[in-house]
């Protein structure tokens, strides 16, 4: 899932970098102040998830948890996953610094797509329904990521179709597991803190106004 340094052509690296920067800018602009803690927590989740190993046959796969970030954060998944990827590259040597842009796009963009697709229906469903849709979103984001990885490799000279097949089939077990874990997480969230799954910009804006009002009042009290 993480492409390493030296596997891609420079054009792909530059293109990935530009896309990642635009995604980051968009994500940061759409970051409301009350979603910042959730962004941090999901970034940390993503960072640690890659260390959770699930044995599959003789080999093992690791979790990615990008789908959950997409559901909860939408576009803000970009900065969250970027920070996670950066620290994974620095601390664990997953991926690398030159491929950071490409990896961010490959992992965060599918998360955003899955999030935008399933957010509304998850917000409307009861916990069990939300869990099922959440599971789909988790699996879908991995599937899309494998296709993105195959595109990156295909653009760098490796044949697209064989690369796509290899990456896609290698990740079928992780899609299933990821879907399951995402479903469990969404179920938990919709039971404990359903507000996290609502994508209500109006409410957020209103709350921000109220907060601003309060600060203003507090200042006036202090000054006067």
Q: Under DSSP, is residue 60 helix (H, G, I), strand (E, B) or coil?
A: strand
**Given candidates 52, 97, 195, 206, which one binds other proteins under the rule CB under 8 A?**
52
Are 171 and 142 a contacting pair, CB within 8 Å?
yes
Nearer to other proteins, 44 or 113 (CB): 44
Distance of closest approach, residue 78 Cβ to other proteins, in angstroms: 13
Residue 215 within binding range of other proteins, rule CB under 8 A: yes
Give, rounded to a whole angstrom, the gap between the first and last alpha carbons of the chain.
Answer: 59
Q: Which stretch binds other proteins (CB under 8 A): 18-26, 67-75, 80-88, 192-200?
A: 80-88
Q: Which stretch binds other proteins (CB under 8 A): 19-27, 55-63, 111-119, 194-202?
A: 55-63
* Rounded distance between C-alpha atoms, residue 115 and residue 104, angstroms: 16
Residue 224 within binding range of other proteins, rule CB under 8 A: no
Residue 136's CB is within 10 A of a number of other CB atoms, namely: 19
* Rounded distance between C-alpha atoms, residue 221 and residue 6, angstroms: 60
Nearer to other proteins, 132 or 140 (CB): 132
* Rounded distance between C-alpha atoms, residue 168 and residue 190, angstroms: 30
* Rounded distance between C-alpha atoms, residue 209 and residue 224, angstroms: 22
Q: Binding residues for other proteins, per CB under 8 A?
A: 1-8, 31, 33, 36-37, 39-40, 43-44, 47-48, 50-55, 58-63, 83-84, 87-88, 91-94, 128, 131, 149, 152-153, 163, 166-167, 170, 177, 180-181, 183-184, 187-188, 208, 211-213, 215-216, 219
């Amino acid at each position: 899932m993480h492409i390493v340094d030296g596997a891609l052509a420079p054009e792909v690296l530059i293109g990935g970098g530009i896309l990642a920067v635009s995604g980051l800018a968009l994500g940061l602009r759409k970051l409301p102040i009350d979603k910042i803690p959730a962004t941090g927590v999901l970034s940390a989740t993503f960072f640690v998830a890659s260390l959770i190993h699930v044995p599959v046959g003789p080999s093992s796969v690791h979790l990615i948890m990008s789908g959950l970030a997409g559901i909860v954060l939408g576009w803000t998944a970009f900065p969250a996953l970027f920070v996670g990827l950066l620290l994974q590259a620095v601390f664990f040597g997953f991926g690398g610094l030159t491929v950071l842009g490409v990896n961010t796009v490959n992992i965060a963009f599918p998360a955003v797509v899955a999030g935008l697709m399933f957010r509304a229906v998850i917000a409307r469903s009861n916990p069990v329904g939300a869990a099922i849709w959440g599971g789909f979103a988790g699996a879908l984001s991995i599937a899309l990521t494998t296709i993105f990885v195959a595109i990156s490799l295909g653009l760098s000279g490796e044949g697209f179709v064989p690369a796509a097949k290899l990456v896609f089939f290698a990740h079928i077990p992780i899609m299933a597991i990821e879907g399951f874990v995402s479903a469990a997480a969404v179920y938990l969230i919709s039971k404990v803190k359903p507000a996290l799954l609502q994508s209500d910009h109006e409410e957020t804006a209103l709350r921000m106004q109220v907060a601003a009002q309060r600060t203003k009042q507090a200042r006036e009290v202090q000054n006067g």
